[in-house]
């Protein structure tokens, strides 16, 4: 499969027209013979890409006091407990912030407040904050997230994730794609036997089908 994925990446990049922005490179899976009505069969994986994501990610933290100071020092955007309550009454602003940032962190004591005021906004986007223990520097978690992607099937047979950008080298993209492909197949009962099809494409480019043979 590595050779086929390599060829698909090359074809996707060659077929992608020049854009005024840096396109992501995505991989999509359509699986078969899996009962996704059963939550235990659903795929939800956080995957650390060996070559990074190829772009800068934005991370924010809900914090106060010393934790807020540490977060700001790490270059993170910081929202206070008062901000959380304000978001609850301003859904438009809450949605804008949810879309602006890739990941969120939070001090543990604020998690309940976030669930109450922001759960309906962050939850469906898969962006509920990761709790940060008081003994852990938030910069450590944030640095790990900058090379992390989330693969989530939910109850859908077809799902996708980005594994880099067109600015990365072919070898970097291939290493990332294989990391995602291998993680997904290990989560399926029959491995590649549960995969109907795989496609690779840039954000705006045509999809390149990868032949899957059991």
2-54+148-210 and 59-145 in the same fold:
no
pLDDT surpasses 80 at 214: no
pLDDT surpasses 70 at 198: yes
- Would you state the pLDDT for residue 37? 92
CATH of domain 2-54+148-210: 3.30.190.20
Rounded CA-CA distance 156/34 in Å is 10
pLDDT digits (tens, 9 = 90+) for 165-177: 999 999 999 999 9
**Average pLDDT in the 170-193 region?**
96
**Side-chain-facing half-sphere of 13: CA atoms under 13 Å:** 17
Helices and strands (H and E) in the chain: how many = 7, 10
Domain ranges within the chain, ordered by starting residue? 2-54+148-210, 59-145
Question: What is the share, in percent, of the chain residues with pLDDT greater than 90?
Answer: 74
Strands 77-79 and 59-62: parallel
Q: Per this entry, what is the length of the chain?
A: 214
- Would you state the pLDDT for residue 88? 84
What's the token pair of residue 44?
Answer: 């939800």
- Would you state the pLDDT for residue 179? 97
pLDDT digits (tens, 9 = 90+) for 108-167: 999 999 999 999 999 988 889 999 998 888 988 888 888 888 899 989 999 999 999 999
φ/ψ bin of 75: left (φ > 0), alpha (ψ from -120 to 50), beta (otherwise)? left
Strand ranges (E), the chain = 24-31, 44-48, 59-62, 77-79, 103-107, 130-132, 148-152, 158-165, 195-202, 208-210
Rounded CA-CA distance 165/145 in Å is 16
Closest CA to 149 of 139, 160, 138: 160
- Would you state the pLDDT for residue 129? 94
pLDDT surpasses 90 at 213: no
**Class at the top of the CATH hierarchy for domain 59-145:** alpha beta
How many CB atoms within 10 Å of residue 16? 17
**Average pLDDT in the 205-213 region?**
90
């Amino acid at each position: 499969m590595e050779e086929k994925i390599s060829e698909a990446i090359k074809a996707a990049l060659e077929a992608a027209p020049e854009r005024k922005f840096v396109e992501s490179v995505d991989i999509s899976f359509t699986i078969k013979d899996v009962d996704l009505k059963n939550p235990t069969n659903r795929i939800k994986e956080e995957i650390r890409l060996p070559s990074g994501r190829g772009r800068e990610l934005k991370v924010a933290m809900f914090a106060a006091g010393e934790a807020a100071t540490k977060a700001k020092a790490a270059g993170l955007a910081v929202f206070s407990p008062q901000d959380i309550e304000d978001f609850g009454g301003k859904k438009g602003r809450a949605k804008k912030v949810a879309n602006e940032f890739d990941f969120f962190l939070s001090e543990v004591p604020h998690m309940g407040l976030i669930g109450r005021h922001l759960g309906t906004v962050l939850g469906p986007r898969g962006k509920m904050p990761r709790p940060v223990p008081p003994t852990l520097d938030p910069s450590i978690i944030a640095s790990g997230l900058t090379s992390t992607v989330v693969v989530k099937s939910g109850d859908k047979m077809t799902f996708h994730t980005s594994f880099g950008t067109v600015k990365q080298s072919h070898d970097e993209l291939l290493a990332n794609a294989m990391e995602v492909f291998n993680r997904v197949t290990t989560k399926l009962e029959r491995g590649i036997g549960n995969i109907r099809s795989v496609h690779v494409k840039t954000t705006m480019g045509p999809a390149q089908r990868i032949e899957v043979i059991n």
